[in-house]
Amino acid sequence: MKFFVKLAAVLAAVFVGLPCHATLIITVPTQEGMLIVSDKLRQNDDYGYADDTEKVVRLTSWAAVAVTGVGGFTEVHFAGTNVIRKERMFTFEIAKSYFITNRVEEFNGQHFADSMCQQLSNFLGNSTLEINPEDVACQFLVFRATPGREQRTFAAVLKVAKIGSNLTVSASSQTAIQRNNDPTQIGAYGNAELPLELTRGHDRQFAVLRADPLIARFLPSGPAIKKVKLADAQAFAKRLMAEATAKTKLLNPNAVIGTNLDEVVIRFK
């Protein structure tokens, strides 16, 4: 797959990613199913940030899909001082549309990852425009709770890389399974600097937060999932999201996490 750069005296065009780098998604398995909490912040093309974006959608009462990373691609034209945005491809929309024609009951992770990769490749490959030179990536997440009281998370990471004049889209994937008797393992996706620091780090400026009873109950590992009530998981997730909004910049000055939250609960089938 190759791209060719179009240049003119007053008109040029590029592909740009629509960042969702502000995304933080927290998952907490409970005795009732899986709690998924996400911030709603995205970077807007025309003005700063918008704190109103759906990032997790319920597919059924026992399944959901989410996206972190680059939220899509836009064809941008520059005509003098004017910026004209034309065709767009939103990664979250192709993830949702997949389940319109593919039953979640028959979910196949490899097929899903291949489909996401193919659609992104087709969109980028049908244009003669140039993609920004830096690598970009997005992560698709499919959450399911099974009749056997297992909670499964499928993650597919798509990376777009430009090497010379060649553009490549690659996919890697993995599945995590948490059973009802397992210790509670918190899932953190996207801007997960603070959850990772609280789980694995030793930075003294977070010592008080690590010792907080609500945080310490779940991190680095919590009680058996079958003992975790949904209300307790909600209190923990909202507290962790609030702390991440306030403190992530201490770990990553470029990270921004929104204050508005989206919450989805998927229950055992």
| Per-residue pLDDT tens digits for 133-189 | 455 678 999 999 999 999 999 999 888 776 666 677 888 899 999 999 999 999 999
Q: Where are the domains of the chain?
A: 11-181
What's the whole-model pTM score? Answer: 0.85
At residue 70, the pLDDT reads: 77
Alpha-carbon distance of 232 to 249, in angstroms, equals 27
Phi, psi (5° rounding) for residue 6?
Answer: -95, 125
Q: Residue 159's pLDDT is what?
A: 84
Give tens-digit pLDDT for 98-134.
Answer: 999 999 999 999 999 999 988 888 877 765 545 554 5
The model's pLDDT over 12-46, given as tens digits with 9 standing for 90+, comes to 333 333 344 568 999 999 999 999 999 988 766 55
Separate counts of helices (H) and strands (E) for the chain = 6, 14
Region of residue 220 (left: phi > 0; alpha: psi -120 to 50; beta: else): alpha
Q: Is 16 exposed, middle or buried (0-12, 13-18, 19+ CB in 10 A)?
A: middle
The confidence score (pLDDT) of residue 9 equals 26
Contact 263, 234 (CB under 8 A): yes
How confident is the model at residue 52, as a pLDDT?
Answer: 72
CA distance 191 to 227: 28
How does pLDDT run across 58-72, given as a tens digit for each residue? 999 999 999 988 777
pLDDT reading at 7 higher than 50: no
26: nearest Cα among 259, 215, 187, 238: 187
The predicted pLDDT at position 18 comes to 38
Q: What is the pLDDT of residue 134?
A: 55
Q: Output the pLDDT for position 4.
A: 26
pLDDT of residue 10: 31
For the chain, give percent helix, strand, coil, nearest 5.
30, 45, 30
pLDDT of 185-231, one tens digit each?
A: 999 998 899 999 999 999 999 999 999 999 999 999 899 999 999 99
Task: Tell me the average pLDDT of the chain.
Answer: 83
Q: Which CATH class is domain 11-181?
A: alpha beta
Share of the chain above pLDDT 90, in %: 57
Is the pLDDT score of 90 beyond 70?
A: yes
Pair of tokens at residue 118 = 């193919």
Q: At what angle do helices 230-251 and 193-200 cross, to 10 degrees?
A: 100
pLDDT of 120 reads 85
